[in-house]
Structure 1
């Protein structure tokens, strides 16, 4: 029984390594391969924005306002004469910061609360009622309310997007912990007197990692979309800061004159969200042996 209790819950089965399965899924299917390349290009665009962008994204130039695409302005200019291509490139930075930040914070907070709710039964009812209450509020309305009360800034928007995502992570982790808690190796560890932190970290936490990785990708994509919605509604980042939502919000009045002001940032936004979701599905297949055995070609 001692050997059973000390066996990690996450001991990998014999077969291909995780890295091999990830490479096979990411690059074997044409759809996932394209998604991987597109997401890589968007991330590179955000990182190297100062080197790639041909113009200053916030420099006003009334003399060049609403210019059509040309050799100098490849995508044209907006109503203030700012280069649209440069603003779209810099907009990727805010979207990725918000997306990755919301995924990391929501996953960490939800993991801690979910572990407590699933393992400590006396806390379960109280914590889950709070979680149910948060989930009853539409996420976009909760985000708008938080931004309205705290003021628009990058950190405020990040917090406003993270809070509605936490309950989903909590419910996911709780369900995994409730199931794993009844497994023989966990019961054996409890009967042998293993400490609670050891049981949580060594036996229960590894079971939550695969679904959390997948959920994190979906949170990232959702956060990018919500940030764009908030900016489009005027409740997000400062309008002077180039974000895809701000660009589309400023360009909706001038859509008949220059449709590219909305179409280009909207296209990049759609590609980013679709690529992240496709990669999330690929990671799910790699981490779930049952999905991997189906041999779904992506």
Structure 2
């Protein structure tokens, strides 16, 4: 007598996705710690008004350069502002720039890369433009854009996105050039399948895994670039609490209160390191060759 299969015991799609995500972000102790740190920084940015004990932009000259105390956990800066509160609010700008730059770079680069890889006639023109942009140092290009357009959040975001788009374009183009030679794509072309269907149904899915990994690296690079621009005075308005602005204002008073630079620098380093480690874990999970090696992150 044949027993009917128990379909109820089969894992659902949601359960499989959760299992894969758990394996991706908790692949090893280092990756697990990086994931926890990243989550804590995100929560810190979201709930900044509830966590910060003081107004991050309120000037209090009578309390300038105070050491750490019960009232001011990390001390105050040269204008009497609470350093702890400013670091917490600084996470908002850094994460907004990082996530925004990653999303915009991937979307713009994906569109250009698909067109460049599929249409051979446009490929030469588009890639020469991309090569020209990549020849310019990204930080110098960002400074030039901010200097010409003004230091606003939108301008800083644009200045970070433009140098990152060419890298995404080259990545997508390489994937499309390889997938375009596959039999199923050639068959779709031969039977007259509309171009937009070939791009979206046959070529686009091949680009998703590498783009997810590239997006994490762009996010980390964008956070660092924003801090560099702010530190150099070419970033967001100095009154806005960002990690780069805090360190820029505190470099003159480093001998008096080293924490003005050390604390925001430490949080900045942890944010970038955690995003990069999570990106490495995503790469390993999406690359079967890395999974076979059993590399513990």
TM class by shorter-chain length? Answer: over 0.9
Q: Which residue of 2 aligns with 1:174?
A: 173
Cα contact 2:27–2:281 (8 A) shared by 1: no
- Matched residue count: 283
User: Partners in 1 of 2:120 and 2:200 — Cα distance?
Assistant: 18
Aligned-pair CA distance for 1:22:
2.9
Q: Which residue of 1 aligns with 2:58?
A: 59
1:194 corresponds to 2:190: no
User: Partners in 2 of 1:185 and 1:20 — Cα distance?
Assistant: 31
Aligned-pair CA distance for 1:18:
5.2
Q: Which residue of 1 aligns with 2:281?
A: 282
Select between 19-28 and 159-168 the one with higher mean Cα deviation: 19-28
User: Partners in 2 of 1:36 and 1:217 — Cα distance?
Assistant: 13
Q: TM-score, normalised by structure 1?
A: 0.94
1:19-58 to 2 correspondence within 5 Å?
A: 19-58=18-57
Following superposition, which runs of at least 4 residues in structure 1 exceed 3 angstroms of deviation? Answer: 16-19
Cα contact 2:243–2:265 (8 A) shared by 1: yes
User: Partners in 1 of 2:63 and 2:24 — Cα distance?
Assistant: 47
1:162 corresponds to 2:161: yes
Q: Which residue of 1 aligns with 2:230?
A: 231
1:269 corresponds to 2:274: no
User: Partners in 1 of 2:26 and 2:158 — Cα distance?
Assistant: 35
- Residues 182-238 of structure 1: CA distance to partner in whole angstroms, max 9, x if unpaired? 011111111111110000000000000000000000000000000000000000000
User: Partners in 2 of 1:22 and 1:47 — Cα distance?
Assistant: 22
User: Partners in 1 of 2:224 and 2:27 — Cα distance?
Assistant: 28
1:122-161 to 2 correspondence within 5 Å?
A: 122-161=121-160
- Residues 59-102 of structure 1: CA distance to partner in whole angstroms, max 9, x if unpaired? 00000000000000000000000000000000000000000000
Unaligned 5+ runs, structure 1: 1-15
Aligned-pair CA distance for 1:26:
1.6
Aligned-pair CA distance for 1:288:
1.3
Unaligned 5+ runs, structure 2: 1-14
Equivalent position SS for 2:73: coil
User: Partners in 1 of 2:23 and 2:126 — Cα distance?
Assistant: 40
User: Partners in 2 of 1:235 and 1:116 — Cα distance?
Assistant: 34
Q: TM-score, normalised by structure 2?
A: 0.94
